[in-house]
Amino acid sequence: MEVACGVMYDNTGNILMGLRCEQGPNPNYWEFPGGQQEDNETLEECLHREWKEELNLKIKIDKKITTTSYNDIHCHFFVGKIIDMENLHINVHQYIGFYNKNQIYKMRLFEGDKEVLDLLE
């Protein structure tokens, strides 16, 4: 399974993180929002679609920074910026917030996500 995840900054330099819902898989983990790639969709298209569906936000992708794999899940991480915060709407997370790297390191993250943080400037 191919998954695209977005490390997206707001205009103050903080990163948007989503807290997964208590109902559903991997409850109460913080994540870089994203989701599963659909047929005939690039990873970048997937990421744009997922951010629109989950958060109603438009993003600008700057570059791919890494891919991590566990089991049969391949997570492709992209870094970029949130274009317009006015339409933010939380559809799948129990909470979202904006945090700096040091704050994110202390969160309950998925395996491999701290290594993603290490790659950020």
- Domain membership of residue 116 (yes or no) is no
pTM of the model: 0.94
Write out pLDDT tens, residues 24-81. 888 899 999 999 999 999 999 999 999 999 999 999 999 999 999 988 999 999 999 9
Pairing of β 34-36 and β 59-70: unpaired
Domain that holds residue 95: 2-111
- CATH number of the structural domain spanning residue 100: 3.90.79.10
- Domain membership of residue 32 (yes or no) is yes
Domain count, the chain: 1
Q: How far apart are the C-alpha atoms of 66 and 42, rounded to whole Å?
A: 16
- Domain membership of residue 117 (yes or no) is no
Write out pLDDT tens, residues 65-75. 999 998 899 99
Are 77 and 22 a contacting pair, CB within 8 Å? no
Burial class (CB in 10 A: 0-12, 13-18, 19+), 7: buried
- Domain membership of residue 83 (yes or no) is yes
